[in-house]
Amino acid sequence: MTMLIATDPSTGEVVREVPAATPGEVDATLAAVEEARAPWRDLGLDGRAEVLHAVAADLRARADELAPLMTQEMGKPITEALGEVEKAAWCAEHYAEHAAAYLETEEIASDATRSYVQHLPLGTVLGVLPWNAPFWLALRFAAPALMAGNTGVLKHDPHVPGCAEAIGDVFARALSATGAPPGAFRNLPLATEDVAAVIRDRRVQAVSFTGSSRGGSAVASVAAAEIKPAVLELGGSDPSIVLADADLDAAADTLALSRIINAGQSCIAAKRIVVEDAVHDALVDRLAGRLAALKVGDPRDPATQVGPIARADLRENLHRQVTQTAAAGARLLLGGELPDGPGWFYPPTLLDDVADDMTAACEETFGPVMAVLRAADADEALETANRTEYGLAASVWTTAERGEAMARQIAAGQVSVNGIVKTDPRLPSGGVKRSGYGRELGPHGIKEFVNVQQVWVGPAHSTVAKLGCGGWLYAVFCHATASRYCRSSMSDGCAMSVGMSVE
């Protein structure tokens, strides 16, 4: 039997073992969700909003017992974990309050008496999620999908089974308390090797995946083979451009924070700092001071700012990236050494004079490691920022006007000007290139998993010519471009040429 194993990264000790779902349990879960599809859809926006409000209230009420699960299973500092529970509750609340406006029917003028687009649910959406933000990523997937009228299945990372079970319990309580269909959302403790079969199952209509580019490629290939829509939010090597006219203190404060949130284990963290040469030394001094002052330690201690790396293999890979980059000629100004003692801690690390072909610039670094690259001017900084296979997010530090102009030239799905890159329920996020496709959150995210259905209501306006042929009434509308005539072949074999004026 496959076990889903959670290990405390601050000690290296196994804290939880959960058996993966058997084939019978997988089938029962999918059957329950399938049974809930129609009643959940028919509950309407107000009924579904009541459930999401109940989810938000339950998350807030139980924050003190939910947050420590993240600290225990993936090492998130307790203060950040509490903040994540609150942010997850906000996401549920936001979609409960705004889904009706986001999904409002769009009236579009045409030759019909009335024509419009309405947004209908697709069915069941499978969410395949990583370990680094267990509650936030679950609600980011679930809240818009559920409010759009879809049912949901959560397949969380195998290293956070306690978090996954707790999330499933939150939804179960909310569904029960509101009298909603109990199968509308289910946690499925699925082994990774069983994911493809669930994607292929006829009871799953779409997939939302957050994770590595390699994992996203595998999920996308299966979904595409089944002709099922997918949204992919993948890795990033996010650039932060700092120009000579930037507020260096504000930039240093924000970039240091961005790099060490969740011990740097974030797809949208500031990873490559591209600095205009004129202010390079001044910014590096500020960054070094801020990173050196951070407290690394027990994630249960509220004073801790940087917790451990989530797994031993992840720390080993991070250290490889640092040592290879330093060996290639980068200056190691801070950190870069494996600490003694239990757990998988890694110190805040600063690499300067990093070149484009060095490991820390070419690969995504998932940990508290900052790579600084020099640029002669703004044009070179922009070229350097775009010289990556990723395109998730970026930031620019300069005047607001100049930053907005540069944003149009940055190949990323999200750009912050003079601010931290973050996800927000009100705004869409997602990537380009190998950072994925599709969008989550905001009005754009909720429309990823809907049937954008066009409805045409007759009778038609006068632009339609009605023709009788063989006892049938035909309506033929021709847009003539190169010619003033178009030919329509009728089903009973008669052919008619209809002259249309060119407008």
Residues annotated as catalytic are 233, 267
The 8 Å CB, 24+ separation contacts for 483-489 are none
- Determine the 3-state secondary structure of 336 from DSSP: coil
What span, in angstroms and rounded, lies between the C-alpha atoms of 46 and 56? 15
Beta strand spans in 213-348 (E): 230-233, 239-242, 272-276, 331-334
d(CA 180, CA 40): 7
Tokens, residue 62: 């139980």
What would the DSSP string read from start to end of 16-32?
EEEEPPPHHHHHHHHHH
Cβ atoms within 10 Å of 465's Cβ, excluding its own: 16
Phi first, then psi, for residue 24 (nearest 5°) are -65, -40
> Is residue 489 helix, strand or coil?
strand
Q: Within 10 Å of residue 453's Cβ, how many Cβ atoms?
A: 11
- In angstroms, the CA 314 to CA 452 distance is 41
How far apart, in whole angstroms, are the C-alpha atoms of residue 99 and residue 144? 8
Scan for tokens 């009706």, then name that residue: 100
**Dihedral sign from CA coordinates of 290, 292, 293, 299:** positive
Cite the beta strand spans of 267-419 per DSSP E: 272-276, 331-334, 349-352, 369-375, 393-397, 414-417
Report the relative pairing of strands 393-397 and 239-242 from DSSP bridges. parallel
- Radius of gyration from C-alpha coordinates of the chain: 26
